[in-house]
Structure 1
Amino acid sequence: MNHVEGGWPKDINPKDVEQTIRFRKKVEKEENYINCLQHLGSVMEHCIKQNNAIDIYQQYFEEDEELEESSELPSAKTINILRDPNEVKRTITSLSWHPDGGRKLAAAYCNLGFQKNPKDMSLDSYIWEIENPSCPEMTLKPESPLVCLDYNPKDPHTLVGGSYNGQIAYWDTRRGSQPVEYSSLEHSHRDPVYKIIWLQSKTGTEAFSASTDGQVLWWDVRKLSEPTERLVLDPGREGNLDRALGAISLEFEPTMPTKFMVGTEQGLVVSCNRKAKTAAEKIVCTYDGHHGPIYALQRNPFFPKNFLTVGDWTARIWSEDIKESSIMWTKYQMSYLMDACWSPVRPSVFFTVKMEGVLDIWDILFKQSDPSLSVKVSDKALYSLRVQDNGQLVACGSQNGEATLLEICSGLSTLQKNEKSLAAAMFERETKREKILEARQREIRLKERSRSEQSREDEAGREDGEDNLEQLIARAENDFYSLVEAEMRRRERREETPQENDVCDEREVQNGVENGKTGDETGNTDLS
């Protein structure tokens, strides 16, 4: 009834197609392969014969179940509240579920206010058993408060955390509360580490981190003395740390091992390719859509080409194919959104938390304008959010150090009939719509550019014409004043010696007239 793929060696990732094909080819060459197949064939034949007699997969009362599900209203109920045991309460900045069934929850506690940490404030973070809210199961003791924390999906005993002072710490819960290893200060981040994620690797010991110092660093927890790789988020692709964008969120999808995405303080999402040949090629493209820092960034687990971001007062859904705008978005909320994530079981459901202490659950197949369910979780601001792998439990971390566990109704945590195909059609339709609008915008911009260029040419022509006219007017004025001066001199002389200068005056006037004529001929100006 419930088939889980297993039997793979530890160094093989079942989700990596290349690794599984290589392993299969290796097994097929072994001598014992044919004997095993023949033995398994007889077992399989026996099962098929049994199944022909009795349908063991028959589902009873299927219609009644569907009716019950459809009539259920969206709901969520609080199961437990895990409170910070210290007197000075701190914000829960990060949460991580235990990979084996989600029986435990790791929480990172840190006060992010600049120089607002009191002297007696604890530096500890905790691992909680969700059924025992009275006291934490284990205490993690870093040298600096933890801003982010992540369980290793391959080894549930190990965790990696990013500290307020920029260091990376690595824990093995079998070895106690103290970190097994720390990164050295000179090779760590210069600002708080806001996000750290484990990578899919053969060894299961690699992780990468992001900080507001503008760097993304890759680490191997077996040797944390210095990072294995470094990327500076310089939009000019020159690796200049002074111009780098501050990173505040990260996204890594195991099915796309070479790709990763970074959310920045400036509201840009930077898409990167780790395996690019040069540092400049590692930054592939950017998506600009938020007015403030991008606090959350996650690909849809069913449709990795579509990803969710949260920044300022909205949550936005993007497609990798559209660079200029998101394909779907929520309307502006009354308070800042601080975190968000997709449901691991339903492709059309995502969760957001707000500064006013409210958890919103959105089902975009049901409605896009408003959340399907809003729950007032706390009187304080909610800063972090994580959903259990089965989609039924949600943990919300608040400003006063409370982690609230909520159980979601089956309607929001069970895959609905035809949901995948409907969600895929919706994402595709919205992507096409944005492409058409983008093309239309490009056409309008081109027309405006051609119009502005034409108007510039016309203005230049007008200016040339105006210059020619001004020259003609200036020439005509000069000719006019020269005639007037000649006439004035003639009259003065006539008054002094009227009889002697008559002949000379007539000549001067005649010369003035001739000069006026030549100016008229050359300047094409009427001097009358």
Structure 2
Amino acid sequence: MDFKYWEDGGDEYHPLEGSLLPLWKFSHDNSRNLVVSDISWSPVYPDLFAAAYTAGDICGTDGAGMLCLFTLKNPACPERTLRSPCSVMCVGFHPTRGSMLAAGWSDGTVVVYNVESVDAIRAVASTAMNGKHILPVCKVKWVHTDPGEDLSLFSVAKDGRLTQWYFGDSRLKSKDIFSFTQDFKSDKSSFEGTGTCIDFRPDNESELLVGIDTGLVIQCSVSCSSHTFIRYPAHSAPVRDVGWNKYYYKIFISCSVDWSVKVWLQDTTTPLITLDMGGSVAAASWSAFSSSVFVAVTDEGRIYVYDLHVRQSRPLCVQSVMQKRRVVMTSLSFNTYHPIILIGGEKGHLISLKLSPNLRQVNKDPRDMEEMSHKEVEMCKMERLIAVNKG
């Protein structure tokens, strides 16, 4: 647990700059020929995370893949290794049940694992009989369910389908929410393409963001039979990642191959903030401790840390993952409990880094914020950001 007390003393001499402190590299004997396609921290256990591996490149469908469960307590080898006959494209932990893990494969299979048992890990997979996708699954995302109800998750795949899955009695049942290739044939100009990423609004999981490979971001409601849509003309190239803010639920972020990261206000089709990252952006994520801090990583392995409350013109930190050689990076995940990020990429590279104090400080205006709770302070920061950028 020494990483909690390891800090960069140089921060006090550069108040508007920070750094990322390298912690550990995680690897597996067979991961050198694979690509880390997705990473998911456990929301229940602070030190546990899952990494998905694909064969060849990030779009590759040939060759076997695997899922590895790592813990910060043992970077030398994974706690569990789950083999798959094809590439594993995405992975996600259940928000409240620490033993439940979902994954999407390159052949269209959605798999739910119960990793609680060491001896026999139980896995339930979708089949052609219960609605299996026919093309690679791009993203899986669990949603909260009430006690006694079947567990539920959503998947989006390259076959154009957004599908809801119900897991109960050791079996999967599916219900297609909509299909980009069928439901929108009459409106090709608006919805042409397939989904690449999804995220649910934290306070209302009926509100869903879908990133499209044509550059659009679609906000839709999944709670009613007649779905309502808001179309955001977000990017000029495929959307790689979308995510709602952890504190101010009307704000979300998107990133794309077109080199940009954009911050949006819900229901407003013009971005609040547009930032140029200088290269294709692989992933972007809001922090769990500040409403105004986000991290983005480019394909070339450059990591950008912004605090929009401090300044929008330049990041507080720009740092390369690999100093000597170029390695394509593909995934990013922010720990919920600690100021740690994980960066994954080709050749099995999986690296953890800690944000220095200047990148995670809580910025307060003592004149009117000293009596506020942490959440109120974070919401006030975003309200000011909206006021400045909309004005």
- The two structures have a TM-score, normalised by structure 2, of 0.84
Change (3 A) 1:84 1:117: farther
SS in 2 for 1:423: helix
Distance 1:114 1:402 in 2: 13
Partner residue of 2:221?
273
Q: 8 Å contact 1:237–1:283 — kept in the other structure?
A: no
Aligned residue pair count: 359
Partner residue of 2:314?
370
Distance 2:341 2:58 in 1: 30
Structure 1 position 124, deviation (Å): 1.9
SS in 2 for 1:99: coil
Distance 1:164 1:329 in 2: 32
Partner residue of 1:444?
none
Name the aligned partner's letter for residue 211 of structure 2: G
Q: 8 Å contact 1:232–1:244 — kept in the other structure?
A: no
Change (3 A) 1:348 1:248: same
RMSD: 2.7
Structure 1 position 301, deviation (Å): 1.1
Change (3 A) 1:128 1:352: same
Q: 8 Å contact 1:142–1:169 — kept in the other structure?
A: no
Q: Is 1:301 aligned to residue 260 of structure 2? A: no
Structure 1 position 164, deviation (Å): 0.6
Query: Residues 22-421 of structure 1: matches in 2 within 5 Å?
Result: 71=15, 73-86=17-30, 88-111=32-55, 113=57, 122-175=64-117, 176=119, 178-185=121-128, 187-202=131-146, 203=149, 205-222=151-168, 224-233=171-180, 237=184, 245-278=193-226, 282-311=227-256, 312-323=258-269, 325-331=270-276, 333-378=277-322, 379-418=326-365, 420=378, 421=380
Structure 1 position 177, deviation (Å): 6.2
Change (3 A) 1:162 1:177: farther
Distance 2:94 2:214 in 1: 30
Write out per-residue CA displacement over residues 507-528 of structure 1, whole angstroms, 9 at most, x where no aligned residue: xxxxxxxxxxxxxxxxxxxxxx
Structure 1 position 384, deviation (Å): 0.4
Structure 1 position 276, deviation (Å): 2.5
SS in 2 for 1:330: strand
Q: 8 Å contact 1:149–1:196 — kept in the other structure?
A: yes
Distance 1:303 1:87 in 2: 38
Distance 2:35 2:171 in 1: 27
SS in 2 for 1:180: strand
Q: Is 1:426 aligned to residue 385 of structure 2? A: yes
Q: 8 Å contact 1:345–1:414 — kept in the other structure?
A: no
Write out per-residue CA displacement over residues 330-361 of structure 1, whole angstroms, 9 at most, x where no aligned residue: 02x33211100001111111000011111111
Distance 2:150 2:360 in 1: 30
Structure 1 position 230, deviation (Å): 2.8
Q: Which has the higher contact order (CA 8 A, sep 6+)?
A: 2
Partner residue of 2:374?
none
Distance 2:202 2:163 in 1: 18
Distance 1:134 1:286 in 2: 45
Distance 2:163 2:216 in 1: 19
SS in 1 for 2:33: coil
Q: 8 Å contact 1:146–1:162 — kept in the other structure?
A: yes
Structure 1 position 366, deviation (Å): 2.2
State percent identity of aligned pairs.
20
Stretches of structure 2 lacking an aligned partner (at least 5 in a row)? 1-10, 366-376
- The two structures have a TM-score, normalised by structure 1, of 0.63
Write out per-residue CA displacement over residues 446-473 of structure 1, whole angstroms, 9 at most, x where no aligned residue: xxxxxxxxxxxxxxxxxxxxxxxxxxxx
SS in 1 for 2:134: coil
Structure 1 position 134, deviation (Å): 1.4
Which of the pair is proportionally richer in helix?
1
Write out per-residue CA displacement over residues 415-450 of structure 1, whole angstroms, 9 at most, x where no aligned residue: 3214522332112332x33xxxxxxxxxxxxxxxxx
Structure 1 position 83, deviation (Å): 1.9
Structure 1 position 205, deviation (Å): 1.2
Range with bigger deviation, 132-141 or 229-238? 229-238
Structure 1 position 69, deviation (Å): 10
Change (3 A) 1:338 1:404: same
Distance 2:120 2:321 in 1: 30
Distance 1:191 1:85 in 2: 29
Partner residue of 2:370?
none
Distance 1:235 1:416 in 2: 48
Distance 2:364 2:81 in 1: 43
Structure 1 position 239, deviation (Å): 8.5
